[in-house]
Structure 1
C-alpha cells in the first residue's frame, strides 16, 4: 500500500480556469480524522472466520462546501488534459462538467499528486454529464482507478457515461475500487444511465469500493469487472454504515477469486436491490463463496432475480447467495439456475450460516450443487434461519435443501 497522501487541490493539466471563462473560487481545506480499518464480511465470534480483511492507509481531507455560485465547465475537446483540467476546476469547490458529446477520453497517466487516480480527487459536490461518452485507461498506462470520492463532502454524480479498464492496484495504492473508490462518512456516488465495465481491483470492488459512503445506482450496468472480493461492488461500514441502493440496473458477468462475484456487503452495511438482475457472476477458487452475492449486513431484494451465478472449487458455497451473520429478505425475486461446483460444495442457490434468510414469493428452482459430497442444490442451511413464504424450492440437484433437509418446509 502507498503511504498516506495529504489531499490538495488538483493541478489543472495545461489549462487555466480562464480558458473556461471563469475564475475558480478558493476552497478551504479542513483535515478529517483517519478512517478506521474496514472489517471483512464476518466479525461475529460465532460466525466462521473469513479472511477478507483490508486496511486503507489513505487519509482524507474534506473541504467546506463552496459558498459562491456553482461552476459549470464545458470540456472543449476529447483530450485527456482538457478532461483532467475541467474536473480539477470543480473537484474541491463543486460544480458541473459537461463532456463533449460522443468522446472517448483515453487516460495515459494518473492526475498528480494522486498516483492511483486517473482524475482529480472529488471532495465537494460534482456532476459530470456525459452524452454517450467513454472514459478509459490506456492499455499501456500504469494502473489507476478513475475517481476517488472523499468524505465528508465528496459527492459525485455521473450521467450517461462509461468507465472502462480502470485498475486499482495494490502495488500503487490500496487496490480498492477498480473504477471508483468512496472513502469516509459523507462520501456519495450516484450513477444514472452509466456503465462500469472491464475494471479491476486487486483487493475489493472491481467496479466500486464503498467504505462508509452512500452509493445509488439507477438504470445502469456493472459488467465484466474483477476483484478478489466483490467483483462488481464491495460495501464496507469502515467504522460507520456503508449503504448501497441499486434500482432498475444489471450486475452481470463479474468475477471474483474469493468472495462475491457480483456484490459483497460487510457487517454493518445496508444494501437494497430493486428491479435489478444479478446474473452470470462467478467466484473461482478454493472456498469460493457467493457467486452472485455474499453478505453479512442487511440486504433486501425486491423484484431482483438471482440467475445463473456460479461458485467453483473445493468447498464452494452459495452459487447464487452466500449469507453469514446478516439478514437477507427476498420478495418476488426468484433464485434460479445457479451452481456451486466442487468437492463438498453446498447451496447451489443459497447458502446460509448463522444469519437469517426470508423468501416471499421467491421460488428457488433449477439450481445445482455438483461434485463429490455435494449437498443442498437449492438451499443449504448450515445454521441460522431460513423461512419460506409462498416460495417453492423445487427441481434442484442433487436435492432441494440437503439430505436430510436442513430447511423447514423444504423436502
Structure 2
C-alpha cells in the first residue's frame, strides 16, 4: 500500500511521536466499567462561539512603536503608486514576529477585503489572551492567506483557555507552512453521554459481552434492537439530527463555522485539546488538508484529530497519535448523543493519507462515520485502538462508507470489530482493500457487522484474531446483517471459539465462486448458527 502514499514534505520538528497508552492491557476481562466518563473532570463552557468580529481592546491593537493608525497608514496605504506596487501586492504584507502585530494585521485584513500575510520565518507567535468568545486570533471574515516559513502560532502554556483560529461565515482561510499548536477549550458537561450509553444506540455488544462473560446465551441480547435507540427516541420524540452549529468549546486548534472555508497546506495542527469536538480541527463548513499533519490532539467527545459536519477533504496527509473519549480518535464524521441533539456527519474524501496510532475509549479508533458519507481511497488505517468497538473503522446509523485501495491493519479493540465495526443501518463498500492482522477481545477480529450491509470486492480479510476467552468470528462476525464476498479471500483468521473464519447468525452471507474461506482456525464456518454457502470445515 505504500505506493499510494506521498511523503509529507512539511517540517515535522514539533510532531515527535508520543508514547502510546496500552489500552489493550486493560484486558478483555476488564471491559465492564473501564470507560466511565464520570471519572474525567468536566466544567461547563460559557458564551457563544462568536460569528462577529472580536472586540479586541485598543491597547491590544497598538504596536510598540507608536500609533496604530499611523502604522496601518504605512503598511496598508493605497494612495501613491510606484513600480513596486504589483510586486508588493503579490508578496503580501510582512508581519513582524510579534503576536500583537499579527492580531492587528488580521483586523486590518478583515476591514479591507482580506489580504495576504507573510509571517516571519522561524518565528513563534505566542498568544497570551483571547476575545470574549474564546478566540486567540480575530475571527476570519474575509479572504485571508497566512504564509508561514517554519512559523508557529501557539497558545502560551500559562494562558487562559482559548482556540487558535476561527473561520467565520464568509471567511476563507488559506494556511501554508504553519504549526498551529496548544489551543485549548474548556470541557462541556458530559450529562450522561458516556461511550457505553452512546454505543448502545447502535449495538448491544457491550451488554452481550457481559452476558457471555457470565456464561449465558448472549445471542438474544445481540440480535435485539439496540435499547439505546429506543431511549433516544423516547427522550426526543420527533427530533431529527441536523447539521448543528458549533458549541463554544469545539475546535481547539481551528474552528471552521458553517459558511466558512479553510485550506491547509504543509501545515501541522498539533497538541490542541477541545472540551467539545474536534481537538485539532472542527469543520462545520468546508475544509481541505494537503501535505498536512494532524497529531497529538485530544477531544473530550468526538474527533480527537478532526471532527467534520461539513465538507472535508484530506489528501497526502497524516492523522496520528490523537485521542477522543466517545468516538473517532483520529477522525469523526458526525456525532451521536443521548441527552443532546445529534450532529449529522458531512461528506468526507480521504486520499493517500495515513490514519495511524489514534485511540478512543468508545468506538472508531481511527475513523468514525455517523449519519454521513465517507470515501477513503489509497490510504492506510493502522495501529489504532478502541475500547468498545471498531479499532480501525466504525460506521453507525444511516451512514455510507466506501473503502478503496485501503489497508486496515493492526488495529485493536477490547470489544468487537478489531478492524471494522458496522452497526444499525450502516452500509460499507470495500474494494481492492485489505483487512489484516486486526485484533478483537470478543466478536469479529476483522469485521463485526450487525443490522448492517457490507460488500467486499477483490479484497482480503486475513490474519485477524478474536483472542479473548469468548472470542468468535476471527474473520467476520455477521448478525442479522448482509455481507457479500465477491472475489474476496477470508483466510488464516483465528478465534478462541469456533468458527475462526465467518460466524453468521440469522444473517445473509453471499460467497461467489471466485471467493475463498480457507485455512481459518479452529474452523472456517463450522459452528455458525446460520450456514454460510461455499464454506467448508
Matches of 1:157 and 1:189 in 2, distance apart?
Answer: 6
Q: Which residue of 2 aligns with 1:290?
A: 390
DSSP 3-state at the match of 1:18: helix
Contact 2:167 2:262 in 1 (8 A): no
Q: Output one character per residue of 1:33-64: Cα deviation in whole Å (capped at 9) or x when no partner.
A: xxxxxxxxxxxxxxxxxxxxxxxxxxxxxxxx
Contact 2:332 2:368 in 1 (8 A): yes
Q: Output one character per residue of 1:348-377: Cα deviation in whole Å (capped at 9) or x when no partner.
A: 000011111100011100000011121000
Q: Output one character per residue of 1:162-217: Cα deviation in whole Å (capped at 9) or x when no partner.
A: 11110012xxxxx211111123xxx1111010000000001110011113x11100
Matches of 1:310 and 1:362 in 2, distance apart?
Answer: 20
Contact 1:339 1:369 in 2 (8 A): yes
Q: Which residue of 1 aligns with 2:182?
A: 137
Contact 2:252 2:279 in 1 (8 A): yes
Matches of 2:265 and 2:73 in 1, distance apart?
Answer: 24
Structure with bigger strand share is 1
Q: How many residues align?
A: 345
Contact 2:125 2:153 in 1 (8 A): yes
Q: CA deviation at 1:106?
A: 2.8
Unmatched 5+ stretches in structure 1: 25-65, 170-174
Q: CA deviation at 1:3?
A: 3.9
Instruction: Work out which of the residue numbers 381, 404, 407 in structure 1 matches 2:527.
Output: 404
Instruction: Work out which of the residue numbers 13, 21, 24 in structure 1 matches 2:75.
Output: 21
Matches of 2:45 and 2:112 in 1, distance apart?
Answer: 35
Contact 1:178 1:206 in 2 (8 A): yes
State which structure, 1 or 2, has the greater radius of gyration over its C-alpha atoms: 2
Q: Which residue of 2 aligns with 1:222?
A: 319
**TM-score, normalisation: structure 2:** 0.59
Structure with bigger helix share is 2
Q: Which residue of 2 aligns with 1:263?
A: 367
2:119 aligned with 1:75: yes
Instruction: Work out which of the residue numbers 359, 382, 393 in structure 1 matches 2:456.
Output: 359
DSSP 3-state at the match of 1:80: strand
DSSP 3-state at the match of 2:252: coil
- With over 3 angstroms needed to count, the CA separation of the structure-2 counterparts of 1:84 and 1:126, relative to structure 1, is farther
Q: Which residue of 1 aligns with 2:261?
A: 155
1:127-276 pair list within 5 angstroms: 127-131=173-177, 133-137=178-182, 145-151=252-258, 153-169=259-275, 175-183=276-284, 187-211=285-309, 213-228=310-325, 229-236=327-334, 242-267=346-371, 269-276=372-379
Q: Output one character per residue of 1:57-90: Cα deviation in whole Å (capped at 9) or x when no partner.
A: xxxxxxxxx99754212223432259999x9567
Matches of 1:179 and 1:365 in 2, distance apart?
Answer: 34
Matches of 1:291 and 1:358 in 2, distance apart?
Answer: 19
Unmatched 5+ stretches in structure 2: 1-43, 79-109, 188-250, 336-341, 504-525
DSSP 3-state at the match of 1:21: helix
Q: CA deviation at 1:384?
A: 1.0
- With over 3 angstroms needed to count, the CA separation of the structure-2 counterparts of 1:134 and 1:67, relative to structure 1, is closer
RMSD between aligned residues: 3.2
- With over 3 angstroms needed to count, the CA separation of the structure-2 counterparts of 1:3 and 1:11, relative to structure 1, is closer
Contact 1:307 1:337 in 2 (8 A): yes
- With over 3 angstroms needed to count, the CA separation of the structure-2 counterparts of 1:123 and 1:83, relative to structure 1, is farther
Bigger CA drift: 200-209 or 239-248?
239-248
Contact 2:128 2:156 in 1 (8 A): no
**TM-score, normalisation: structure 1:** 0.76
